[in-house]
Chain A
Amino acid sequence: MAPPAQTNRSPSPSQPSGKSEVTDLKSQLRQLAGSRLPGVDDSKRELFKKVISYMTIGIDVSSVFGEMVMCSATSDIVLKKMCYLYVGNYAKVNPDLALLTINFLQRDCKDEDPMIRGLALRSLSSLNVANLVEYLVGPLNAGLKDNNSYVRIVAVIGVLKLYHISVTTCIDADFPAVLKHLLLNDQDTQVVANCLLALQEIWNGEASTSGDAMKEREALLSKPFIYYLLNRIKEFSEWAQCLVLDLVVKYVPADSNEIFDIMNLLEDRLQHANGAVVLATAKVFLHLTLSMTDVHQQVYERIKAPLLTLVSSGSPEQSYAVLSHLHLLVMHAPYVFSADYKHFYCQYNEPSYVKKLKLEMLTAVANESSTYEIVTELCEYAANVDIPIARESIRAVGKIALQQYDVNAIVDRLLQFLEMEKDYVTAEALVLVKDLLRKYPQWSHDCIAVVGNISSQNVQEPKAKAALIWMLGEYSQDMSDAPYILESLTENWDEEHSAEVRLHLLTAVMKCFFKRPPETQKALGAALAAGLADFHQDVHDRALFYYRLLQHNVTVAERVVNPPKQAVSVFADTQSSEVKDRIFDEFNSLSVVYQKEHRGPFEFSDELGSLAIGTESDVPAHVVEANDKDLLLGTPDKEESRGAGTNGSAYTAPLYDTSLLSTATQVQPELPISNPAAAGLSPQSSLAIDDLLGLGLPAAPAPTLAPSPPPLKLNAGAACLFTASPTGHILIFVMDRSLSQELSVSPQGAAALTTPQTLPRHLQGHSIHCIASGGQAPNLKFFFFAQKAEESSIFLIECKINTSSAKTQITIKADDQSMSQAFSTLFQSALSRFGTS
């Protein structure tokens, strides 16, 4: 008789097949209930088995409760046990029916067979129905005094169950006192162990409200009691030994003699085949000797071999649990394990969670004498087919390099990784070389030579790309191509999806600019412009910051961007030593496996150091303060002093925080920006005009433009800066000369406009930038901005599109009206391609 296979699996009783079968069972059980025929027990067994198997796979069989109870009048113990199991499972949801079982359970509690007494008492206390507890007190009292230890063992746990159903009933019946008596006097160690665990749970629960309970709890840690347990420890089962050892950990011995007595007594527990006993013993040793530095070290030595044996003797799962603890010890005292590093070599068939731990341990134990061998081993893993482990191995090599031993040999290895021509290996190695250079700038010459050979196109992972860009910026004086690589990266700004990379690119271009101004000027202008137009708040802010910094004072800017740097001596650890200490306090618990401290009853603290820059999360929109504008307006002249970047070309544009805008339009289309009235075409809206992007703009590369030969070239890098008025309204600069036209959009284009963002993206490719968009389908409205290449002329375009009629109305405003017509043609051609490309 097996549980039905998966097809019958149904969590809901309403499932037809399940239901009819249950009804079937019900009638069969009813037939058997009163029967006294020979062989009836066998038929019952079969039926009961069926019921239990349904229960196991999740079919609700609570409807046969009554029949099950009726059938339970039997002397067959197998039947009884199945019935107990069933009743225990469903009593809670059927409290009324549970009452039916009380009778026969109470009767069984007085059976002459201790086995039946114990089983019945266990079932009775497992009913878990609050208004039945009165029936429980009597049998429990009797059970605790039973002359059979099995019944007492069950009764003690029964008291704990009662405590969880009804605290007051348990306390009022004075059960804790009875348990305490048994704890100190019972001959059976399992009774003692159960008393101990039950009382610990009860007193822990009561300690917050009752002073007595607190005292009782402390009394468990008294010297006589601890010694009473310790002296009998070998009589306890291996599991109960763990319980006792957990208690001993909390005991504070009076002097060192006591400490040594306890350790001597427990010494042989370290040879136990059960890992739980060994770890519990190790915890006692470690905690007892915390204040005795020398002995504490010896404890490490003493527990090392048993733990290593456990790692290699058990199942992979058990190995893992022990290895996690070894990992903790290694991290605490790497020198103790420095000669054992070979134990932490990975075996090819180990699961990756084990390999990861081992790699960290290898990193920690490496010292002068072992570094070379360990790094050689790690390099073998780097060629491993298991890519995550290969990556971890390379990281491990890097970490060892940062620990200062024998850097020479390691740098060579890392550089070899760079030449291995595996994407992920190159990526990891780049990140490491970057860290290495921050610590050992003296290696820059060797590293840069190799890094310079890497094509940035082969590096795609953000972290690696960021590292490469950092090196390009930092060592631009040594890498002849640096400005040009940076420039080409800047040109592909829009294709770079990682904000982290864009941030690094901005900084690197700045650094490079101060080292090689003439070559970088162009790239800097483009990067700043692109950065200012970036939708990512951090990128935008950094670009703005650099821009203002340059405006303010170039020398200061150089000091900020390229200060003389000191080599990093120690990289910050991701986990504070405090947390590590607390995890150490929680030795032999899940905290060690998770490498997190235990916080509260059910929670583990979140990983530390998860605050990474450049997360792509949405930055909440915020309105740029009005004084921002003043700040910008107040520094128009400073740029003039920079021969490198400025030629005084004024380009005028209203001030506007683009990130505000893009966020606002995406998130809340009903903001004033989408409202044509508020979009403020009225002349009295004050103007905020400034030369913002004079820097570098004239040199910005002319982009390729649509129809050939284009009569008009637009500046690809042009960025539009707007600002919001203090009231949050948008001020848009208005020029009185304007040109209005009606155009039509291709049907494909109109179709593509179901997602309005596609149009700005499309026009971006034609160097026409979106300022704002809004409206509800079918009437959409866009504001665009463009700047003539190599000149300061700007164009503002208001574009109303009706997606159903595919009609578009545009209004072009330009400061140089003579160009309006030319621009209109260009805009039309750009628009006509929308949806077709």
Chain B
Amino acid sequence: MISQFFVLSQRGDNIVFRDYRGEVQKGSAEIFFRKVKFWKEDGEEEAPPVFNVDGVNYFHVKVVGLLFVATTRANVSPSLVLELLQRIARVIKDYLGVLNEDSLRKNFVLVYELLDEVIDFGYVQTTSTELLKSYVFNEPLVVDAARLQPMSPAAIFMQGTKRMPGTAVTKSVVANEPGGRKREEIFVDIIEKISVTFSSSGYILTSEIDGTIQMKSYLSGNPEIKLALNEDLSIGRGDYRSSFGSGAVILDDCNFHESVRLDNFDLDRTLTLVPPDGEFPVMNYRMTQEFKPPFRINTLIEEAGALKAEVILKVSAEFPSSVTANTIIVQMPLPKYTTRVNFELEPGALGQTTDFKEANRRLEWALKKTVGGSEHTLRAKLTFSQELHGNITKEAGPVSMTFTIPMYNASRLQVKYLQIAKKSSTYNPYRWVRYVTQANSYVARI
């Protein structure tokens, strides 16, 4: 049970504000924003998603730079409220096509319509995009999608590190396409976030894949869909019976959207569902089985005199040459007494930039694109303001990396086929199955 819901812009303006129970004072948005902004004076710590000020509990999630906030005085389930906030953001996105400050401001009346039906007197009524359709009468004013980033599947990941704003489909569930006809299509995205920690000698210390099969359906008449995964897929660690030595995909655990029926899952690894409107995760999975990391990072540090050192970073792309990774950023914290860095890229390097962020003494190396099988090297000559004492590796590193690799997935989990129950022989909607791998925490220690 929540008392208020509001959305704040990055500057702290109310974009929508809804008071459901009148139990929390009106100035709560301001109190909240001040608290979040000045959580710790040094600014090093972020405010946690849940905190209590004078008996009022504030919950917030950040979505595309906006703060979705709920307040309550009751001792509620934090998961429930945070999940709800995330879900409200998703429903709004389903309706507006694009979720950002601009679209929210343009469509705030529609958002109020949604909020009226999603929550009544502080209690959740429904968050189903489909059910809500019959209660929403405002037409969404779609913001110009052309101004946004290109619609490549990778574009989804450019908006934040761990955040998952969803697929690049920026089409409202209610808006009609020009021409008044809706295109029959369905998107299935297999999105994997990978986390790898390499030891200083290059061994893999930990590795994990967190994956989601995301679906967004624009099919009319809600036909039943069958999604077939790898037949040799097994779930639960230690369950090696069927897969021993066969190189099968072993998931640690997974969960499913409530629309998914698992009647045949144990038999042939197929998921059956009638996809509701809007975007939703069909399945989330987690895997700690070993996999081949897409990038290897080599770091070499050579001390050159008392006030100088050279860092050599080498990044090798260990995936097929048919695949191209993009927006690769390599970062490395340098000793805090570093004053100057001279970079030396390999000859003929294209689309690579280097930077020394003086504020936090960080080296940044960005590569626009990397083709599978290639290798790139950066030499950085460091100048220090004081003499090195002890080991430079204690003062610098680790090297971290972010990247996005479209049409690649590290887990080898696959959607073998996507079957749509046929209405007629001519019914043949577009089916998009896309794979994307993204770095979550990709770290090499030095």
Given known A-B contacts A85-B112, A279-B79, A9 and B44 have beta carbons under 8 A apart: no
Q: Is the CB of B50 within 8 A of A81?
A: no
A601–B74 Cα gap in the complex (Å)? Answer: 7
Q: Is the CB of A237 within 8 A of B128?
A: yes
**Min CB distance, A229 to chain B, in Å?**
17
Binds B, one of A34-42, A306-314, A507-515: A306-314
How far apart are the CA atoms of A4 and B52 in the complex, in Å? Answer: 30
User: B141's closest neighbor in chain A, by CB?
Assistant: A1
Please give the distance in Å from A335's CB to the nearest CB on chain B: 18
Q: Is the CB of B77 within 8 A of A276?
A: yes
Q: Assuming the A-B contacts A92-B22, A590-B50, A602-B55, are A380 and B445 also in contact, with contact meaning beta carbons closer than 8 angstroms in the complex?
A: yes
Of B145-153, B249-257, B295-303, B408-416, the segment with at least 4 beta carbons within 8 Å of chain A is B249-257
Contact B440 A313 (CB under 8 A): no
B443 in contact (CB, < 8 A): yes
Is B55 a contact partner of A190 (Cβ separation < 8 A)? no
- C-alpha spacing A815/B258, complex, angstroms: 94
A315 touches B163 (CB 8 A): yes
A591 at the interface (CB under 8 A from B): yes
Query: Given A78-B138, A81-B113, A197-B123, do A588 and B389 touch, yes or no (CB 8 Å)?
Result: no
Given A52-B112, A128-B22, A317-B60: A589 and B77 within 8 A (CB)? yes
Decide if B16 touches A56 in the complex (CB within 8 Å).
Answer: yes
> CB < 8 Å: which of B1, B55, B124, B395 contacts A603?
B55
Closest CB-CB distance, B236 to chain A, in whole Å? 7
Spot the interface stretch: A179-187, A251-259, A382-390, A476-484.
A382-390
Q: Which of A309-335 contact B (CB under 8 A)?
A: 309-310, 312-318, 320-322, 324-325
Question: Closest Cβ of chain A: how far from B359's Cβ, in Å?
Answer: 12
Q: How far is the CA of A25 from the CA of B125 in the complex (A)?
A: 34
* Closest beta carbon of chain B to A209's beta carbon, Å: 21
The reply to whether B286 and A313 contact each other, CB–CB distance below 8 Å, is: yes
- Give the complex CA separation of A385 and B236 in angstroms: 36
Most B CB atoms within 10 A — which of A52, A56, A387?
Answer: A56
Residues of A324-379 contacting chain B, CB below 8 A: 324-325, 342, 345, 347-353, 377
Determine if A421 is an interface residue (Cβ-Cβ < 8 Å).
yes
Asked if B441 is at the interface (CB within 8 A of a chain A CB), the reply is: yes
Q: Count the A residues whose beta carbon is within 8 Å of the partner chain — how many? A: 93
A321-B13 CB under 8 A given contacts A153-B125, A345-B206, A349-B441 = no
Identify whether the interface residues of B are mostly helix, strand, loop, or mixed.
mixed
B441 touches A352 (CB 8 A): no
Do B44 and A386 have beta carbons less than 8 Å apart? Answer: yes
Residues of B with C-beta under 8 A to A278: 79, 255
Contact B128 A351 (CB under 8 A): no
Chain B residues closer than 8 Å to A321, beta-carbon distance? 49-50, 78-79, 82
| Interface of A: prevailing SS | helix
Binary interface encoding of chain B residues 109-121 relative to chain A, with 1 for a CB under 8 A from any of its CBs, else 0: 1001100100011
Task: Bits for A275-313, please: 1 = Cβ < 8 Å to B, else 0.
Answer: 110111000000000000000000000000110111011
Stretch at the interface among A154-162, A542-550, A636-644, A650-658: A154-162
Q: Would you call A3 and B108 a contact (CB within 8 A)?
A: yes
Q: State whether A314 and B137 are in contact (beta carbons under 8 Å apart), knowing that A345-B206, A421-B390, A602-B55 are contacts in the complex.
A: no
B201 within 8 A of A: no
Which residues of A sit under 8 angstroms from B162, Cβ to Cβ?
315-316, 349
Q: Is B135 an interface residue (CB 8 A)?
A: yes
Give, as a whole number of angstroms, the nearest-CB distance from A153 to chain B. 7
Q: When the two chains form the complex, which single residue of B163, B254, B441 contacts A347, counting CB atoms closer than 8 Å?
A: B441
Q: In the assembly, what is the distance between CA of A388 and CA of B333, in Å?
A: 16
Q: Which residue of chain A has the shortest Cβ distance to B121 in the bound complex?
A: A157
Nearest residue, chain A, Cβ from B26: A58
Chain B 261-287 against A: per-residue CB contact (8 Å), 1 yes, 0 no?
000000000000000000001011110
Is A312 touching B208 in the complex (CB atoms < 8 A)?
A: yes
Chain B residues in 8 Å Cβ range of A435: none
User: A273–B77 contact, CB under 8 A?
Assistant: no
Q: Which of A63-71, A426-434, A437-445, A592-600 contacts B (4 or more CB under 8 A)?
A: A592-600
Interface string of B15-53 (1 = CB under 8 A from A): 111010010001000000000000000001110111010
CB atoms of B116 and A273 under 8 A apart: no
Selected from A157, A315, A589, the residue in CB contact (under 8 A) with B120 is A157
Q: How far is the CA of A659 from the CA of B210 in the complex (A)?
A: 63
Within 8 A of A (CB), among B1-20: 1, 11, 13-17, 19
- Known contacts A349-B441, A604-B52; is-contact A275 B75 (Cβ 8 Å): no
Does any Cβ of B come within 8 Å of A53's Cβ?
Answer: yes
Q: Is A122 an interface residue (CB 8 A)?
A: yes
| Residues of A contacting B125 in the complex (Cβ-Cβ under 8 angstroms) | 153, 190, 194, 239
Encoded as 1 (CB less than 8 Å from any A CB) or 0, chain B from 231 to 260 comes to 000001000000000000000111111100
Nearest-CB residue, chain A, relative to B389: A421
- How many residues on chain B are close to A (CB under 8 Å)? 92
Residues of B within 8 A of A58 (CB): 14, 26
Q: Of residues A115, A316, A419, A604, which shows the largest number of chain B Cβ atoms within 10 Å of its Cβ? A: A316
Contact among A2, A308, A345, A348 for B398, CB-based, below 8 A: A348
Contacting pair B163 A348 (CB below 8 A): no
Number of A-B contacts (CB under 8 A): 235
* B126 in contact (CB, < 8 A): yes
Q: Which of A24-58 contact B (CB under 8 A)?
A: 49, 52-53, 56-58
Chain B residue at minimal CB-CB distance from A274 = B83
Q: Is the CB of A348 within 8 A of B75?
A: no
Residue B428 at the chain A interface, CB threshold 8 Å: no
A residues in contact with B99, CB < 8 Å: none
| A718 at the binding interface (Cβ < 8 Å) | no
Residues of A within 8 A of B62 (CB): 317
Nearest residue (CB) in A for B44 is A388
Closest approach, in angstroms, between the C-beta of A355 and any C-beta of chain B? 10
| B210 pairs with A81, CB closer than 8 A | no
Closest B-chain residue to A316, C-beta based? B162
Closest B-chain residue to A602, C-beta based?
B55
> Closest CB-CB distance, B86 to chain A, in whole Å?
6
A533 to B128, CA, bound (A): 72
Q: Which residues of A contact B17 (CB under 8 A)?
A: 56
Q: Which residues of B contact A588 (CB under 8 A)?
A: 77, 79
Does B161 lie at the interface of the complex (its beta carbon under 8 Å from any beta carbon of A)?
yes
Least CB distance from B79 to A in Å reads 4
A242 within 8 A of B: yes
Q: Cβ of B129: which chain A residues have Cβ within 8 Å of it?
A: none
Residues of A within 8 A of B22 (CB): 92, 128
Interface digits, A381-411 against B, CB 8 Å rule (1 contact, 0 not)? 0010111100000000000000000000000
Interface check A586, CB cutoff 8 A: yes
> Does B158 make an interface contact (CB < 8 A)?
no
Instruction: Judge whether B82 and A318 touch: CB under 8 Å.
Output: yes
- The chain A residue with its CB closest to the CB of B128 is A237
Q: Counting CB contacts under 8 A, is A519 at the interface?
A: no
The answer on a CB contact under 8 Å between B252 and A308 is yes
The verdict on A312 contacting B210 (CB below 8 Å), with A6-B11, A321-B50, A352-B44 known, is yes
| Residues of chain B having any CB pair with chain A under 8 Å | 1, 11, 13-17, 19, 22, 26, 44-46, 48-50, 52, 55, 57, 60-62, 73-80, 82-86, 102, 105-106, 108-109, 112-113, 116, 120-121, 123-128, 134-135, 137-138, 161-164, 195, 197, 205-206, 208, 210, 212, 236, 252-258, 281, 283-286, 288, 333, 360, 389-390, 394-395, 398, 400, 440-441, 443, 445
Q: 11 pairs across A/B with beta carbons < 8 Å?
A: A157-B123, A160-B121, A309-B252, A309-B286, A313-B210, A318-B79, A349-B441, A352-B44, A352-B46, A387-B44, A591-B75
| Sample of 8 more A-B contacts, CB < 8 Å, known A306-B253, A342-B206, A349-B441 | A122-B116, A242-B80, A306-B255, A317-B49, A322-B79, A586-B75, A589-B78, A590-B52
Which of A's residues lie within 8 Å of B, judged by CB?
Answer: 1-3, 5-6, 9, 49, 52-53, 56-58, 77-78, 81-82, 85, 89, 92, 115, 122, 128, 153-154, 157, 160-161, 190, 194, 197, 237-239, 242, 246, 271-276, 278-280, 305-306, 308-310, 312-318, 320-322, 324-325, 342, 345, 347-353, 377, 380, 383, 385-388, 419-421, 586, 588-594, 598, 601-604
